[in-house]
Chains A and B, each alone.
Chain A
Amino acid sequence: MKEINLKELDNFSSQVRRDIVRMVHAQNSGHPGGSLGCVEFFTSIFKVVMNHNNNFSMDGKNEDLFFLSNGHISPVLYSVLARTGYFPINELNTFRKIDSRLQGHPTTHEGLPGIRVASGSLGQGLSVALGAATTKKLNNDKSLIYTLHGDGELQEGQIWEAAMYASAKKIDNLISTIDYNGRQIDGDVDDVLSLGNIEEKWIAFGWKTLKCDGNNLKDVITTLQKAKSLTGKGQPIMIIMKTEMGFGVDFMMGSHKWHGVAPNNEQLEVALNQLEETLGDY
């Protein structure tokens, strides 16, 4: 396990948040809300929890693999991939622009290191992760598969096909996480289509569940490490991670309105004033 320096990780997270708001502002397009809410998660898995190789290969043998199923929060993924050495940080400049490897939703098509499948059309990432986890087993590769899903994404039926399969077939080298921010494009998840008792649903589908505060870095790391200790026991693992959409930028928090809207010049200024530049802007 890598040494944990919480101050250093907080600094990293602050810079990632600056990248997110600057990226979506620059193109007046993208999804800042969910991206900001998941910064601690991405910092934790890419800086602490996963054993991964930024010298990217599609096959990713003998390393942990991460799949982002809710592809619209690409800004946080791109920032963290760039700042952990997958591709040049300056390339964040090209987000959502023509001829870029940083497509609106993550893709393999342009060959961006760190991306192993396209996501964006929701509900598909868990199935892909099950396939990758199965191949790990066939290859006698003891590394793990990590996934992230939106809570609204759980309204897609394919998620539940995959949920059923994972426990029935004892896919126990998989740690999934739900970004449980309670918001989706049209409003609160409870109003659009309530998920009911989300934890009971996963338990009923045969998963081991854990819960954490997704905006508390220490709690996220502790929970992911606990999850790791539960792998290899015949059960898939689901972390229900409570987050605040827009976390870190006060006017973006507590509403679904910043799901897919970019800040204007004044709003960017306000946001950046709340986020310390720690590692240098791109």
Chain B
Amino acid sequence: MKFEILGNKDTRSGFGDGLTQLGKTNPNVVALCADLTGSLKMNDFKDNFPERFFQIGIAEANMMGIAAGMTIGGKIPFTGTFANFSTSRVYDQVRQSIAYSNKNVKLCASHAGLTLGEDGATHQVLEDIGMMKMLPGMTVINPCDYNQTKAATIAIADHVGPVYLRFGRPKVPIFIPENTPFEIGKALLLQEGTDVSIFATGHLVWEAVEAAQALAKEGLSVELINIHTIKPLDNENILKSVAKTKCVVTAEEHQIAGGMGESIAQLLAKNNPAPIEFVAVNDKFGESGKPADLMKKYGLHSSDIIKATRRVLNRK
């Protein structure tokens, strides 16, 4: 299968453009930001809908509480800050005031993972998927390109309940066609195959596409599935794929612990134990550097997916 590169953009711009579109179509959508309006690409929403944009200042705990309160009376708040400050910094606020209170807040988190780059490990959260998926009732979404992030941003406004939407800073290939429907909780089959199932999320989906193309040249048939929704996981389609391929590689820009791979491993352990290899960060903090260099150093490159595939095929 060929993937056409439709452009090169950051996923955060998909969020910003999706948010602006929501501003036009849904009068209940409001946006809150903790002094990172430009970084989150929220300027366009701010300029077009100033009465529905709330600058909170550098006070993320307060922002989460305000967002929870704004739902009372029917608003749909989208909070915007870095992933680290959307999760670990405010975990108790998100837990009590939003998740446990079942508030219709959309936690929109940019600069997730190593690809934040030069700012270093203080800002490179690699534990956020785990923290958020552990909260009962929380939906966790990690789209893979500009188009998918925009579609996801628009889709979550219609979902009633708290959502964690994770995206990032670097420009990455756009390869999901613009009109592809975004269905929360539904895995996206990118390529059918029979030898191995590769499940990838976020920035690692394009790495997995490149890996699958390289492996095809070796005569391997890869089933490539984009898990954009980590919770609720698409159990049915994951199990269906593994029943066919009988081995698994997972790929994500996150710690192994708490990540998408862990969720898939748990599903398989219970229903259909199969060899699995994890392409993810292995119990380490990140560091400053160019995103591409960091992805290589921490084992998140397409070549790492290829190596993991060879390992898992040997265990089949």
Chain A residues packing against B (C-beta within 8 Å) = 58-61, 65, 67, 107-109, 116-121, 123-136, 138-139, 141, 157-158, 161-162, 164-165, 168
Contact = CB atoms under 8 A, between A and B. Distances in A.
17 contacts: A59-B74, A65-B72, A107-B101, A108-B100, A119-B96, A121-B92, A124-B61, A127-B61, A127-B62, A127-B63, A131-B65, A131-B68, A131-B72, A162-B65, A162-B66, A165-B62, A168-B57
Contacts of A168: 57
A135 B73 contact: yes
Contacts of B67: 131
Interface string B51-74: 110101101011111111111111
Question: In terms of DSSP, what is the predominant structure of the interface of chain B?
Answer: helix
B102 interface: yes
A132 B93 contact: no
A212 B50 CA distance: 39
Contacts of A58: 72
A117 B73 CA distance: 13
Contacts of A162: 62, 65-66
Shortest Cβ-Cβ A-B pairs, 6 listed: A131-B69, A127-B65, A135-B73, A161-B62, A161-B59, A128-B69
B70 A132 contact: yes
Nearest to A141: B73
B97 interface: yes
Interface in B89-109: 92-93, 95-97, 100-103
Which of A65, A118, A129 has the most chain B CB atoms closer than 10 A to its own CB? A118
Given A124-B97, A127-B64, A165-B59, A139 B73 contact: yes
B308 interface: no
A109 B100 contact: yes
Interface of B: 30, 51-52, 54, 56-57, 59, 61-75, 77, 92-93, 95-97, 100-103
A109 B59 CA distance: 27
A116 B65 CA distance: 12
Contacts of B70: 131-132, 134-135
A135 B75 CA distance: 7
A123 B92 CA distance: 11
Nearest to A69: B65
B73 A118 contact: no
Nearest to A123: B61
A109 B101 contact: yes
B23 to A, nearest CB: 14
Nearest to A127: B65
B95 to A, nearest CB: 8
B57 A164 contact: yes
Contact of B97 (A128, A135, A165): A128
Given A133-B69, A134-B54, 13 more contacts: A59-B74, A61-B73, A61-B74, A67-B69, A117-B72, A125-B65, A127-B97, A131-B67, A158-B61, A158-B65, A161-B59, A162-B62, A165-B57
A60 B72 contact: yes
B33 to A, nearest CB: 13
Which of A107, A121, A131, A136 has the most chain B CB atoms closer than 10 A to its own CB? A131
Given A65-B72, A127-B62, A117 B54 contact: no
Nearest to B74: A59
Nearest to A156: B61
A134 B101 contact: no
Contacts of B62: 127, 130, 158, 161-162, 165
A118 B69 CA distance: 11
Contacts of B69: 67, 117, 127-135
A91 B73 CA distance: 28
A59 B100 contact: no
A138 B95 CA distance: 26
Nearest to B30: A138
A67 B102 CA distance: 16
B165 to A, nearest CB: 19
Nearest to A159: B62
Contacts of B71: 131, 135
A132 B93 CA distance: 16
A241 B100 CA distance: 30
A157 B93 CA distance: 12
Contact of A128 (B56, B57, B59, B65): B65
Nearest to A128: B69
A117 B244 CA distance: 46
A125 B62 CA distance: 10
Which of B61, B70, B72, B74 has the most chain A CB atoms closer than 10 A to its own CB? B72
Contacts of A131: 65-72, 77
A135 B56 contact: no
A61 B51 CA distance: 20
B102 A109 contact: yes
Contacts of B57: 161, 164-165, 168
B182 to A, nearest CB: 27
A149 B20 CA distance: 37
Which of B52, B65, B97, B102 has the most chain A CB atoms closer than 10 A to its own CB? B65
B96 A134 contact: no
